[in-house]
Structure 1
């Protein structure tokens, strides 16, 4: 793929679209004054999830997996601290972009918020298990609470303290991404067009201000509370019920184009129209997932591109399935192979 060599790009072009890290975390360009936030104290880097990244990207090689225009838009979003809005047909690799950015820039585990028709803003920010807390308090009281001790903490007969409110609050993917990390988290909001009509508008305030409140913690008498977050086994402290980021997260929003979003929402996002990768990119992607280029892979890539050019809906996963079946010797010489390939590479818009 032709394009501007990395050494000839502006200094704020830190993402090259390969998913290959430089070996050290990349310093992002300084945020513009209107996109700087005051959250703190700073949190340590998040954990990696190399297994999830490898499932998405395979063992990447230094070949850009996006076109030049898309790479420029991603870098502009990183500079301006604005969300990316990725549109395009299903299966062209929109959600993969979040993992490319996270691995290449060393930003740790990708937080994923998968949208369905019932999803609301609070689902992404936090969940409060009120029933679980009520049951825990009832069980604690059943043990017979003593009078508060000298520290003012009410304890049961066994010395156990009253169940903490924070034990029953879990920050969602969006809520976790807005914690005050010293380097931005990567948040994938997948298939936002499947949400109800209100969610894009509800997101506007959070995306603009980089902050939110947990009302249950605001009303609590404690100045700070440790809560669960979306990273498995991890917890974080929330002060006065208020969460504000230090670095605005890298927000990747995907849409299959099933409906239009409000103008106010689109104004806050940088758009990227995703299309089927080129032949060179597809071959590189196949090599990434299969560690080498399997036999007949080039022919299958050409066949896949022919199907795409003929119209309809096709997914990269169909190509991977065809290559895997060929590699495993699953295409016989009795004509069943042609039938299987036709089934695997069928037009998904036809319904069957």
Structure 2
């Protein structure tokens, strides 16, 4: 049976814990947004891609920036283009609907088939941003003032929201979400994740690389601990470079692939001595 019947169960490329799979499926069943938090590199953004692939649905991504306004996700009225067309005598200038451009949320609502909508890094926007979306995420509709039309979701999208916990999200917003914190993978799960990227990796390389990786993460004074994606990149660099395994701990080749801050590099080198 396929994922559409059984719910989300991860993919060949994305290894999800039992708790994460359960949270996704509960959010889908209850038709509530799934709010995902976790330290960088734990696969928050990739989760939406995996859910869409697993369930056979279209993925729509709304990348949030510090300047993003909630309105942009609904629609934008292109007054500049209308003015430009009016100056040059273009036909249809009186049809305001021609100048209404749907945003990512509007696109998800208009989709004939259920889509997966990723609202990525919601905490980058200002504090009012989540509150400004409460009605739309609850009622699955919004009103276009210029055309006096209401856009209703044809199929309620599966909404996945990620946050890096840079800002506290409003309580009213949190009440409407299913929440899941992605814990950093333990060694058993990490081994499974690495093998999805490198199915033929040698046991010695995997064991040595992971030993160094978790040793660095265990150092108390490290400010930016290496993430899963950085471990993957480091293993790739080690394979390309053909570095002898017995020198990994003593030389830490290509360490800049995993450790990205000057002070952290200094701390690691001090611990080596």
Give the CA deviation at 1:162: 4.7
1-structure distance, mates of 2:105, 2:201: 38
Q: Indicate yes or no: 2:138 matched with 1:188.
A: no
2-structure distance, mates of 1:265, 1:319: 34
Contact 1:15/1:74, CA 8 A, preserved across alignment: yes
Q: Which has the higher helix share?
A: 2
Contact 2:82/2:93, CA 8 A, preserved across alignment: no
Q: Indicate yes or no: 2:43 matched with 1:93.
A: yes
Counterpart of 1:169 in structure 2 is 100
Counterpart of 1:242 in structure 2 is 150
- CA 161–207 in structure 1, closer or farther in 2 if over 3 Å, else same: closer
Q: Indicate yes or no: 2:2 matched with 1:14.
A: no
Q: TM-score, normalised by structure 2?
A: 0.81
2-structure distance, mates of 1:325, 1:315: 15
Q: List gaps (5 residues or longer) in structure 2.
A: 266-273
Counterpart of 2:54 in structure 1 is 104
Q: Deviations over 1:33-65 (max 9, x none)?
A: xxxxxxxxxxxxxxxxxxxxxxxxxxx3xxx72
Contact 2:141/2:151, CA 8 A, preserved across alignment: yes
Q: Indicate yes or no: 2:213 matched with 1:304.
A: yes
Counterpart of 2:269 in structure 1 is none
- For residue 120 of structure 1, the aligned residue among 46, 69, 76 is 69
Please, what is the CA RMSD of the aligned residues? Answer: 3.0
2-structure distance, mates of 1:79, 1:209: 16
Q: List gaps (5 residues or longer) in structure 1.
A: 1-5, 21-59, 142-159, 219-240
2-structure distance, mates of 1:188, 1:161: 34
Give the CA deviation at 1:15: 1.4
How many residues get paired? 257
Contact 1:193/1:258, CA 8 A, preserved across alignment: yes
